[in-house]
Homo-oligomer: A and B are copies of this chain.
Amino acid sequence: MRLKINREAFLKGLNIATKAIGLKSPLPVMTQLKVTLDEKGLDLIGSNNDLAIKTTIPFMIDNKAIITDYEFGGALLNSKIVTEIVRRVEGETISLEIVDGTIVEIGDGKSSFKLNAMRVEEYPELDLEVDGVVINLSSKVFSKMVEQTAFAASTKEQRPILTAVNLESIESKIVATATDSARLARKEIPIDKIVKLNANVPAKVLIEVSHLIEKETDLLISISDKKILISFDNTLVTSRLVGGEYPNTHNIIPKTFNFFLEANSHEIISAMERVSLLSIERENVVKLTMSEDGVEISSKSAQVGSASEQITTFSYTGDPFEVSFNSEYVMAAIRAAQCEDITIAFLGEMKPFVVRNNKDDSQVQLVTPVRTY
């Protein structure tokens, strides 16, 4: 392998592919970046046990030569070192050459690095093929689905299934559901065909993909029994699915409610943030006290003191009512709802309640109250 490459394009590719590489891996070869040049361009592949990312830097971008003076081939490189080198050298063009099987020379004329490399044959075979059900989504629809659901998945590994977002087909819709068992987020997105799908995709993979998307584009998503593959622009992300059956959440969303609070999203979030400062012993637990005359958010700590906030702009329907909850969950639900004025609908003191964007019925944000003593 030998090539000259535009530094900026190379760095952009490195920043994408290295996202999949963990800091420590049981297999040392997995900390390496696989770099191969063939007739399609320069492929950069990074992976860990769960996730693989491949990005291709083409020979030309917008009629500008990106890769020149080349000879096909490949090598495995220390991903961290190569990224830092490309980030820090100053030349516009970088040369890369395998000088013998296991030494790669990188330079810009002024700086010169000889990196110990491994042979591409030592890299494990990855399954990067499109397989199973195929869906096309715009990046806008995909990213919104991720923003409105993935945060509610669990980050703890005790119940691996809850670290996933469940994607299920219902008629010509995909229903995305995430729950950590104390809250739930659901989003429905229409698709242009009827497919049969029920897959558990790691929430952090979906979040990673939404971060990798830089501009509006189209995504091809393929889901088989074992893996999801998402491809867009010159990049392809693949991940194993989470095994096991997703809990049945279809019937836990109440259909009728008794108490309704409508308030400004920004005001209620700011107030909760301040009141949560004093939720010391029970982290982030705050109390919401509502009547037609006033709405208060409060918290109490034996150790530090107490806090209360009056909400000034609100409309409340129902008998006087109070409920306690984890404010982080409710704030996250309000942010996910993405609306200026939020409606929170309650059924009863210890019943799950919903945080609702009245102009968007494609999503549900559900939170379980906590008991106070």
Given A81-B277, A81-B278, A88-B274, A307-B111 contact (CB < 8 Å): yes
Chain B positions within 8 Å of A182 at CB level: none
Asked if B270 and A305 make an inter-chain contact with CB atoms under 8 angstroms apart, the answer reads no
Nearest opposing residue in chain B for A302, CB measure: B116
Q: Is A261 an interface residue (CB 8 A)?
A: no
State the Cβ distance, A278 to closest chain B Cβ, in Å. 7
State the Cβ distance, A88 to closest chain B Cβ, in Å. 5
Chain B positions within 8 Å of A111 at CB level: 271, 274, 307-309
Given A274-B89, A309-B110, A116-B303 contact (CB < 8 Å): yes
B-contact bits for A81-95, CB 8 A (1 contact / 0 none): 100110011100000
- The B-contacting residues of A in range 76-129, CB under 8 angstroms, are 78, 81, 84-85, 88-90, 103, 110-116
Chain B positions within 8 Å of A303 at CB level: 116
Nearest opposing residue in chain B for A88, CB measure: B274
Chain B positions within 8 Å of A170 at CB level: none
Asked if B305 and A116 make an inter-chain contact with CB atoms under 8 angstroms apart, the answer reads yes
State the Cβ distance, A84 to closest chain B Cβ, in Å. 5
B-contact bits for A195-231, CB 8 A (1 contact / 0 none): 0000000000000000000000000000000000000
Asked if A270 and B84 make an inter-chain contact with CB atoms under 8 angstroms apart, the answer reads no
B-contact bits for A55-74, CB 8 A (1 contact / 0 none): 00000000000000000000
- The B-contacting residues of A in range 251-270, CB under 8 angstroms, are 270
- The B-contacting residues of A in range 293-344, CB under 8 angstroms, are 303-310, 312
Nearest opposing residue in chain B for A113, CB measure: B307
| 6 A-B contact pairs sorted by A residue (CB < 8 Å) | A84-B277, A111-B309, A113-B308, A115-B304, A115-B305, A116-B304
